[in-house]
Amino acid sequence: MKLSHLSETLIGSEIVKLGGEIREKIRQGEKIYNFTVGDFDPAIFPIPKDLEDAIVDAYRKHFTNYPAAEGNLDLREAIRSFAKDTENLDYQTNEILVASGGRPLIYAVFRAICDKGDKVIYAVPSWNNNHYTHFVDGQHIVVEAKAENNFMPTADDLRPYIQEATLISLCSPQNPTGTTFKKEELEAICDLVIAENKRRGDSEKKLYVMYDQMYWHLTYGTIKHYNPVSLRPEMREYTIFIDAISKVFAATGVRVGWGAGPATVISKMKAILTHIGAWAPMAEQKAVAFFLGKRENIATYLTHFKKEIEERLHRIYIGFTKLKAAGLPVDAIAPEAAIYLTIKIDAAGKTTANGDVLKDQSAVTAYILNEAKLAVVPFYAFGASKNSAWYRLSVGTCKKDEIEEMISKLGEALGKLKYKDSGLINSY
């Protein structure tokens, strides 16, 4: 049976495929070190107690009816105050739209701005830009970001395509890489957009930037988060922010997100989502409106939360540097932000102890899952080249007491491979 062109041409998810394999192994009793999910284990990372209590209290007060289509006014006022205090971004309540997490808002941005055939620029690896571009039947302008830039796109990467584009999708901190825009590079991208929109004048469709900053609170060490509007106030007219409680409060299932941007764009996004019904639940909206006002409690929660995530990321990074120092084909980028570590397992072409050649990166992914019981998501699942040896490792469900064990098993599995340099021995 033929269905719609959209449904018939949807791209399969490598992450879903890998997840199915992992679940089957776990069902059969195997112990898997599952670092694939961009989510949190609530037993390790619970949501803030004040937020939990506020949600329960809101239900007990029978806040169970429809919320306002654009988000309840008290929540939008709380978001406005929170954004102004924490990022110095000043948006009016009619420039803020609430929905059930970031996904409906991202979809609404693409729908509100892009027509069929419009060119959408996005870098890979990145999360779901290919799917959203497909939803609107846009033209994919794909830039493959480079390891030397920590897999963040540069102004030079975007410049050749800027004149014909309608939307640039940016994310910082980046999913899947856990890396961030440096101030100078984001300024250079903003300058490109501003100059291009001046060139277009009033007669042409403007070039917009969607700026997904879902992880912006979760930065580590000396890393600082930057956004287009704070760096270049002229970008306010062309930038739509995507944010939520999902990552900052380990509240992925609570489903409260918001967008902020020019009122003209936000109003069209609202109209689209009104027909979809993708509002955040009433009780959760009431609870988040209350909780965002608890600045001291939020600061206390984040201090502990960030420390726990950073410790996991750093310990795994150190483990990979030791494996690399031992001559094994791995690498890693020092953790900057989010809950992700970018790692490299460059074993394609190597031969297993059974004499099988790991002919491509997909075979390497299967090998480390079967031999090391390590599950990570390859960058090719996020649109990078099929031969990319880089992976996303997520620590949202990581138990600290399993880190050394995981590193050891990976070292053992890689140590069994045959290399051109004979004599490589496993010391893990």
Each residue's pLDDT tens digit, 226-267: 999 999 999 999 999 999 999 999 999 999 999 999 999 999
Q: If DSSP codes are grouped into helix, strand and coil, which group holds residue 350?
A: coil
383, 368 contact by CB (below 8 A): no
Residue type, 406: M
- pLDDT value at position 425? 41
The mean pLDDT value for 114-118 works out to 97
Distance CA 264, CA 171 (A): 22
Question: What is the rounded distance in angstroms from the CA atom of residue 263 to the CA atom of residue 11?
Answer: 33
Q: What span, in angstroms and rounded, lies between the C-alpha atoms of 396 and 38?
A: 7
Mean of the per-residue pLDDT values of the chain: 94
Token duo for residue 233 = 């106030």
Question: Whole-angstrom distance between the N-terminal and C-terminal Cα of the chain?
Answer: 54
Amino acid at 413: A
The class (CATH top level) of 51-294 is alpha beta
Cβ within 8 Å of residue 264, ≥6 positions away: none
- How do the domains of the chain map onto residue ranges? 5-45+299-415, 51-294
Q: How far is the C-alpha of 294 from the C-alpha of 78, rounded, in Å?
A: 10
Q: Which tens digits make up the pLDDT trace of 79-97?
A: 999 999 999 999 999 999 9
Assess contact for 270 and 282: CB atoms under 8 A: no
Instruction: Output the six-digit token pair for 422.
Output: 């004979």
Q: Is the peptide bond before 125 cis (omega within 30 degrees of 0)?
A: yes
| Structure letter (DSSP) for residue 91 | -
- 3-state percent helix, strand, coil for the chain, nearest multiple of 5: 45, 15, 40
For residues 349 and 358, the answer to whether their CB atoms sit within 8 Å is: yes
For residue 379, give the nearest of 103, 148, 151 by alpha carbon: 151
- Report d(CA 124, CA 171) in Å as an integer: 11
Q: What's the CA gap between 402 and 112, in Å, rounded?
A: 45
The distance of Cα 114 from the centroid of its chain, to the nearest Å, equals: 22
Q: What is the pTM of this model?
A: 0.94
Contacts of 335 (CB under 8 A, 6+ apart): 178, 220, 310, 313, 314, 317, 341
pLDDT of residue 324: 97
* pLDDT confidence bin for 1, thresholds 50/70/90: low
Secondary structure class of 174 (helix, strand, coil): coil
Q: Greater confidence, 7 or 161?
A: 161
* Strand, coil or helix: 312: helix
Q: Kindly tell me if the per-residue pLDDT of 134 is higher than 60.
A: yes
Whether domain 5-45+299-415 has CATH 3.40.50.300: no
The edge-to-edge listing of strands for the beta sheet with 390-394 is: 330-332, 340-345, 390-394, 377-378
